[in-house]
Chain A
Amino acid sequence: MADDPSVSVLPNGIHVVVKRDCATCVMVAPLLMQLQSSHGITIYSQDDAVFPVGAQVMHDADLSISWHNNIETVPTVINVIDGVEVDRTVGWLRDEWARLFDLPNIGDGLPSYRPGCGSLSVDPDKVDALRAKFEGSLLVSRRVEIASLEDEMEALFARGWTDGLPVVPPTQERVMRMLSGTSLAPSDIVAIAPPDLVELTVEKIAINAVMAGCLPEYLPWVIAALKAVCTDEFNMHGVLATTMPVGPVIVCSGPGSRAIGMNSGVNVLGQGNRANMTIGRAVQLTIRNVGGGRPGEIDRAAHGMPGKLSFCFAEDEIGSPWTSLAVARGVATDTDAVTVFAGEGPRCVTDQLARDPEQLATSLAATLLTVEHPKLPLAYDAMLVVGPEHARVFGDAGWSRERVIEELHARLQLKGSDIVRGSHGMAEGVLQKYEQLTVSKFRPNGILLVHAGGGAGLFSEIIGGWASGAIGSEPVTQLVTNVGTQ
């Protein structure tokens, strides 16, 4: 059977797909022989070319008939009239077969019902290869051959495609499987990837998601995060080019983040969760490989930080006393979204003694003051990841998200005389003209509050930002859409 799907369109008549390795197919085999005589049915066998013995059998050896006709169960009976499928039944259900063949007493002596068996065309061991074979022509990326004596992991390192860790080789089979995670077409362009300003197709994202170790259900999250970082507001080009140690911090929100198993709890900013680690990594690999953003080239970070491999986590919405970050940024409740923030590595705020919200807010503010430098206000945003034990102090006191942020700002009003250049023995600081003024450490929307972390530990985490606003980077929130059927 050729690969051309057109040859797999069934002609008019009744068709039955079976396999010998199926008790239900074996049970109906004598009946199929009768139906071939009486109704001229066409029998396709997936495994044994001479099953049923004595019948005229088409051997669907390459499973193209089964694949192109979406056979999931054997036996499947399909009736085609005028080139169109008008009826289908799966397994053995006497009433269904009686109706389809217009034979009220069909299969006398057989039980009234037997479920079918799994079609070979959906066998987990075969399905990836079949998808690549029958649908792989959708992919247009260059095929790169690896020599048989070449170690494939080393080959991918040698081509400069990795972030310094091994990647999963992006074979056609794996990429096709990855693409099942989205309803978008491989050729769809979802963003323009900096710094080379390359049209970013779903196919290229899927390839890099395979390399990062993603599962197909993560792909819509990777796509959403890439859409967000490739906006002019987020300014991925600048985030790469800066000498500061920042990268995209990806916060995932909504029920889908839990459905794909993301971690919002113990070790939330650390290792160990596949979705957290690989979604962020896929974003960075895509920017590296498609956009061309490589360290030492466009990426000019003086130090960088480990989170530039991947920095992605989920909000703990279930245990939070507050609305989520996504909802605070305008997303409807229970909607999947990602928020990207140009951030540096996290640092811990320890306060194990504060039992009232005022004291805790003062502690958090004192540490937030040090973002980038205690004497540099307004230029940087910060993400504050409040742990559940700290959040409980605020929640028990009835402080809303807005109240917490307001109280933090109130504690972060700086006297100009304290932060002008040269004051307190430090050359760094603001211009002398601010000496008599009061200056806010952060702009009004410059503190992003997230609830996440393990249930034990009176800690929160601060993720310092990069040049904020139009001169640098704005946080961007993007809905997660086009989830695939898989």
Chain B
Amino acid sequence: MTTAITMINDSPARFVLDPTSERNPSQRQILARPSSLKGLTVGLLDISKARGDVFLDQLERRLVGVGATVKRFRKPTFTKPAPVDLRHEIAISCNVVIEALAD
């Protein structure tokens, strides 16, 4: 693993109440896709299943080969969605996310 964000945070979760009519999903919409990955930062999220890192290591080499910068992240457990803090960390430090699922 090159980088792993350790999600340790003792502060309580913060919630606000949605002030809208709730007709739109609370998650924001995805951006337009780039034509090339060259020069962009790509986040790879390890969902914490066994040997996922082997696959992601290979993927990282391929992405670096096309000129991308890769940042690696890891979920605490594959059984739960990525924590909001981790999603935020990925959102602010990466240009691109590759959404995929493997087992």
Contacts and interface: CB of A to CB of B under 8 A. Distances in A.
Given A147-B84, A147-B85, A147-B87, A171 B21 contact: no
Contacts of B6: none
A145 B20 contact: no
Number of chain B interface residues as a range: 20 to 34
Interface stretch (A39-47, A154-162, A271-279, A350-358): A154-162
Interface string B18-45: 1111110010100000000000000000
Contact of B16 (A149, A152, A289): A152
Given A141-B22, A196-B23, A172 B14 contact: no
Contacts, number: 85
B35 to A, nearest CB: 26
B55 interface: no
B17 interface: yes
B11 interface: yes
B28 A145 contact: no
Given A142-B26, A146-B14, A147-B88, A198 B21 contact: yes
A142 B14 contact: no
Contacts of A152: 14, 16
B84 A145 contact: yes
Contacts of A145: 13-15, 84
Contact of B19 (A147, A148, A155, A211): A211
A175 interface: yes
A156 B18 CA distance: 10
Contacts of B84: 145-148
A294 B21 CA distance: 13
Contact of A144 (B11, B18, B88, B89): B18
A141 B15 CA distance: 11
Given A149-B89, A198-B21, A158 B15 contact: no
A37 to B, nearest CB: 43
B15 A144 contact: yes
A290 B23 CA distance: 9
Contact of A175 (B17, B20, B22, B87): B17
Contact of B17 (A142, A148, A290): A142
Given A159-B28, A290-B20, A171 B85 contact: no
Contacts of A159: 28
A204 B21 CA distance: 8
B9 interface: yes
A242 B83 CA distance: 44
Contacts of B21: 193, 196, 198, 204, 289-292
B9 A148 contact: yes
A144 B26 contact: yes
A149 B88 contact: yes
Contacts of A285: 19
A159 B19 CA distance: 10
Interface string A269-309: 00000000000000001000111100000000000000000
Interface residues of A, number: 35
B16 A146 contact: yes
A150 interface: yes
Nearest to A290: B21
A454 to B, nearest CB: 35
A170 interface: yes
Interface string B70-103: 0000000000000011011100100000000000
A158 B28 contact: yes
Nearest to B18: A142
B8 to A, nearest CB: 10
A161 B17 CA distance: 11
A149 B85 contact: yes
Contacts of B28: 158-159
Contacts of B26: 142, 144
Contacts of A207: 17-19
A170 B11 contact: no
B22 A148 contact: no
A159 B29 CA distance: 11
A143 B85 CA distance: 16
A169 interface: yes
Given A145-B84, A149-B88, A158-B28, A171 B20 contact: no
A180 interface: no
Given A149-B88, A158-B28, A141 B11 contact: no
A14 to B, nearest CB: 38
B16 A156 contact: yes
Interface string A126-157: 00000000000001011111111110100110
A264 interface: no
A208 interface: yes
B15 A172 contact: yes
Interface of A: 139, 141-150, 152, 155-156, 158-159, 161, 169-172, 175, 193, 196, 198, 203-204, 207-208, 211, 285, 289-292
12 contacts: A141-B19, A147-B85, A147-B87, A148-B84, A149-B85, A156-B16, A159-B28, A171-B14, A196-B23, A203-B17, A208-B19, A292-B21
For the complex of A and B, the 6 pairs showing the least CB-CB separation, nearest first, are A147-B88, A142-B18, A141-B17, A198-B21, A289-B19, A143-B15
Given A146-B16, A170-B19, A289-B21, 7 more contacts: A158-B28, A161-B20, A169-B14, A169-B16, A171-B14, A285-B19, A292-B23
